[in-house]
A and B are shown apart, each in its own frame.
Chain A
Amino acid sequence: DQQVKQNSPSLSVQEGRISILNCDYTNSMFDYFLWYKKYPAEGPTFLISISSIKDKNEDGRFTVFLNKSAKHLSLHIVPSQPGDSAVYFCAAKRGAGNQFYFGTGTSLTVIP
């Protein structure tokens, strides 16, 4: 049973506009969330994280929002650049000593 879901397999956005990638989770005990970015033929690389004590975390062009009541997080990329074209995975875990659960990924294409 998929505990972390990314319901949009793909997303296309014009360069300079905002990209919004969404992630939903079912386990209310999850308290730490990450986004990874993956280029073809490479492994995922860490992008940004957020713990459940926050509802927002920013790092440059990337902002992650967490809505605990809705069990939803989103990644905003502003402005989007062609180099952002990649597959984005969200991941979640509960407490210390527990494994991460990954979503299925969203393929972002930023059109020049």
Chain B
Amino acid sequence: NAGVTQTPKFQVLKTGQSMTLQCAQDMNHNSMYWYRQDPGMGLRLIYYSASEGTTDKGEVPNGYNVSRLNKREFSLRLESAAPSQTSVYFCASSDRPWGSDTQYFGPGTRLTVL
């Protein structure tokens, strides 16, 4: 059982380049989330998808877009990367949105924007 998988694990971009971070879960969860973790800031929610077909902004959505491709997959796109988007990105999933159910996290993608 793989849980939540993320690709790539590491990525270096130049300012202005675009890329898509991929996330997939095999737990048949309804809700999926994208967070970023910066030093001294904790994890901050970028976007989430409460259920297949829906997406909503979180705390720090600017500069990002998301696609809930199907129940399993939730991708995060940076259209024009900026150095401020250098961070570690975590995808998570849960059975219910924001319920008492825990969220299960992927291993993270470490992104550096030069």
Contact indicator A93/B98 (Cβ below 8 Å): yes
A99 to B44, CA, bound (A): 10
Q: Nearest Cβ in chain B — how far from A81, in angstroms?
A: 22
Interface size on A, residues (CB 8 A): 27
Contact (A44, B105) CB under 8 Å given A97-B97, A99-B48, A99-B58: yes
Interface residues of B in 33-59 (CB under 8 A from A): 35, 40-45, 48, 58-59
Q: C-beta contact mask, A6-38 vs B, less than 8 Å → 1, else 0?
A: 100000000000000000000000001010100
Q: Is the CB of B98 within 8 A of A42?
A: no
In the complex, what residues of B have CB within 8 A of residue A104's CB?
A: 40-42
Number of A-B contacts (CB under 8 A): 56
**B9 — nearest CB in chain A belongs to which residue?**
A41
B interface, size bucket:
20 to 34
Please list the residues of chain B having a beta carbon within 8 angstroms of any beta carbon in chain A.
4, 35, 40-45, 48, 58-59, 90, 92, 97-100, 102-108
- The reply to whether A102 and B102 form a contact with Cβ atoms under 8 Å apart is no
B106 touches A43 (CB 8 A): yes
Given A43-B106, A97-B98, A102 and B42 touching (CB < 8 A)? yes
**CB–CB A89/B105 < 8 A:** no
- Output the least CB separation between B77 and chain A (Å): 20
List of A residues within 8 angstroms of B40 by Cβ:
104
> B42 touching A32 by the CB < 8 A rule?
no
Which of A6, A41, A102 is close to B44, meaning CB atoms less than 8 Å apart? A102
A100 vs B59: C-alpha distance in the bound complex, in angstroms?
10
What separation, in Å, do the CA atoms of A43 and B41 have in the docked complex?
16
Tell me which residues across on chain B come within 8 A of A93, comparing CB atoms: 98
Given contacts A41-B108, A89-B42, contact A98 B98 (CB under 8 A): yes
